[in-house]
Amino acid sequence: MSAVRRFATIPGPRPLPLLGNSWRFAIGKKPWQTRSLDITLWNLRALAGADGAAKVAKLFGHPDLVFSFCAEETAKVYRREDSMPYRAVAPCLKHYKQELRKDFFGNEPGLIGVHGMPWSKFRSKVSKALVAPEAAKAAIPSLDEVAIDFIDRIEKIIDYNREMPKDFLTELYKWALESVGAWAMGTRLGCLSEKDDEAKEIIKNIHGFFHSVPELELSAPLWRLYSTPAYKTYVDALDSFTKLCLKRLTDKGVCAKIAKISGEKVATILALDLLLVGVDTTAAAAASSMYLLAKNSRAQRKLQDELDKNLPVGRPLTSKDLEQLTYLRACIKEALRIKPVILGNGRCIQSDAIISGYEVPKGSHIVFPHYIMSNEERYFPNPHDYVPERWLREKDNRNVDMSSEFRTNDMQSICEHAKAVLISEKQREIGIHPFASLPFGFGRRMCIGKRFAEAELQLLLAKVFHRYDVSWRYGELTYSVTPTYVPNEPLQFTMKMRRKNK
């Protein structure tokens, strides 16, 4: 205990008198631009050291942020939390739900931006319909229809060079929105049709919501004094979502089941939360998975061999079909390791703690930047190499078809295979720390729609790579935080029909 250091000694940017550290985000110079938070995290990692911590103190309206860059410290905090985990409050969302629109929300706060007993009571009303594996399996037929429609749409929007349009990321947003509508609200929103004006408006509002969050939550809270442009955008988006959910709830889908048990208001608020967190995130995951596979022909060929072997002909995909696609699941895990859609998770600790050797007082917000940990050599050998095999058990690795590796005498392909084998062997030697990559969070506050998001991604990627050879002929994508981690450049994939589909 004598080696424990005081909270005040945790390294971090020095706050100014009165202004604290909020001025850094308000001015927006690198690395403190809210879109460049990945760079900020690497700078804080350098301050913290391998197993240390860094601190960003004195942010207006927020507790001090303590960043722990050690997977074992992450495990300790998660494992000591009680049955009602606390996240830091999102002040603008709390203001919207509990003050601005209190007449609608009342005592039903939803799942986002709340914690403690109100969160626990709401979650108990909705978790059974969302968390059970059977719930996601039951949604697969409707999600499969959405994926089929998206594949058909690809052929309508592709150009004469077999290249995707510059706004292909928006097309992925439409697919994700259509998917959430299908399984959550039991309705097709029409996002993949030619006349999709309502879908475009929804997506516009989703972007407006997400792009305004970093400014509202990290910069000086001027919205408390007057209605700033960002706050107007934020409120308009939330109002629009609420109207959509009230209008589009049906007697089908997960929310319909909840409406029968807990009432339409609970179902509407849940649908609102699912729209807010289930569109940008899943679309970003699909974009990064396609990009990393497009740049890695070795992994793409291996995935296509698995799909050729297991995908049925002449009938829809089922949950049993998806269970056979072990390499596809590994491809998604590897993409979410390298480019997680959310850069970190956090907890607001409810008692004093010792974290990374520092005394941390109750009420501090502990941030677990798994984007950093999942891209570090100590947890993932050759972290910047896309090697899905690192996620496979030795038995599963043996079962994956290896014929694609030696389809030709291409020496480069053989060398890439040898490198992947070496990396996966190194990974097996050190193992995968269960808290080094947490794209869906952990514990009771894990993403409640995790199983649905995984099913959406598996169905989409299975159909895309079964039908197409996907390639990338541009430079490296750069990414920004919006607050999801998304590419900056157009996703102009080249999609050539595979010979077997011609």
Say if residues 374 and 437 touch (Cβ distance below 8 Å): yes
Torsion sign across C-alpha atoms 386, 390, 394, 395: negative
Q: Which amino acid does the sequence have at 345?
A: N
3-state secondary structure 295-328: CCHHHHHHHHHHHHHHCCCCCCCCHHHHHCCHHH
Angle at 68 between CA 64 and CA 70, to 5 degrees: 170
The pLDDT of residue 1: 45
pLDDT per residue as tens digits for the range 229-257: 889 988 988 888 788 777 777 788 899 89
Say if residues 240 and 204 touch (Cβ distance below 8 Å): no
User: What contacts 220, CB < 8 A, 6 or more positions away?
Assistant: 22, 23, 26, 60
The pLDDT of residue 411: 64
The C-alpha atoms of residue 118 and residue 112 are separated, in whole angstroms, by: 11
Q: Is 447 annotated as a binding residue?
A: yes
The C-alpha atoms of residue 374 and residue 69 are separated, in whole angstroms, by: 10
Say if residues 174 and 199 touch (Cβ distance below 8 Å): yes
Tokens 């002929």 found at? 473
The C-alpha atoms of residue 117 and residue 121 are separated, in whole angstroms, by: 6
pLDDT digits (tens), the chain, 502 positions: 458 999 999 999 999 888 888 888 877 777 888 789 999 999 999 999 888 899 999 888 778 899 999 999 999 988 877 666 777 667 788 888 888 888 888 888 888 877 778 888 899 999 888 888 888 999 999 999 999 999 999 999 999 999 999 999 989 999 999 999 999 988 888 888 877 677 777 777 877 777 787 778 777 778 888 888 889 988 988 888 788 777 777 788 899 899 999 998 898 889 888 888 888 899 999 999 999 999 999 999 999 999 999 998 888 899 999 999 999 999 999 999 999 999 998 888 888 999 999 999 998 899 999 999 999 999 999 999 999 999 998 766 655 555 555 455 566 677 888 899 999 999 999 999 999 999 998 887 888 889 999 999 999 999 999 999 999 999 999 999 888 899 999 999 999 999 766 5
The encoded tokens of residue 130 equal 């969302």
Q: What is the DSSP string of 202-241?
A: HHHHHHHHHHHHHHHHHS--GGGTS--HHHHHHHHHHHHH
Q: Is 189 helix (H, G, I), strand (E, B) or coil?
A: coil
Provide the phi-psi class of 132: left if phi over 0, else alpha when psi is between -120 and 50, else beta. Answer: beta
The encoded tokens of residue 473 equal 């002929």
Say if residues 40 and 31 touch (Cβ distance below 8 Å): yes
Element (H, E) at 469: strand 468-471
The C-alpha atoms of residue 90 and residue 122 are separated, in whole angstroms, by: 17
The encoded tokens of residue 28 equal 């927006």
What's the N-to-C CA distance of the chain in angstroms?
69
pLDDT per residue as tens digits for the range 11-51: 999 998 888 888 888 777 778 887 899 999 999 999 998 88
Q: Is 49 helix (H, G, I), strand (E, B) or coil?
A: coil
Burial class (CB in 10 A: 0-12, 13-18, 19+), 239: middle
Q: Which of 149, 151, 207 is nearest to 178 (CA)?
A: 149
The pLDDT of residue 222: 81
Model pTM score: 0.91
Residue 364 has phi, psi (to 5 degrees) of -70, 150
The pLDDT of residue 221: 77
CATH numbers and ranges of domains, the chain: 116-344+440-501 (1.10.630.10)
Q: Which amino acid does the sequence have at 259?
A: A
- Indicate the length of the chain as a whole number: 502
The encoded tokens of residue 152 equal 């058909």
The C-alpha atoms of residue 175 and residue 182 are separated, in whole angstroms, by: 10
Q: What separation in angstroms does the CA of 17 have from each of 13, 22, 23, 58?
A: 13, 11, 11, 9
Tokens 């480069």 found at? 412
Task: Find residue 495's DSSP bridge partners.
Answer: 470
The encoded tokens of residue 46 equal 């350098």
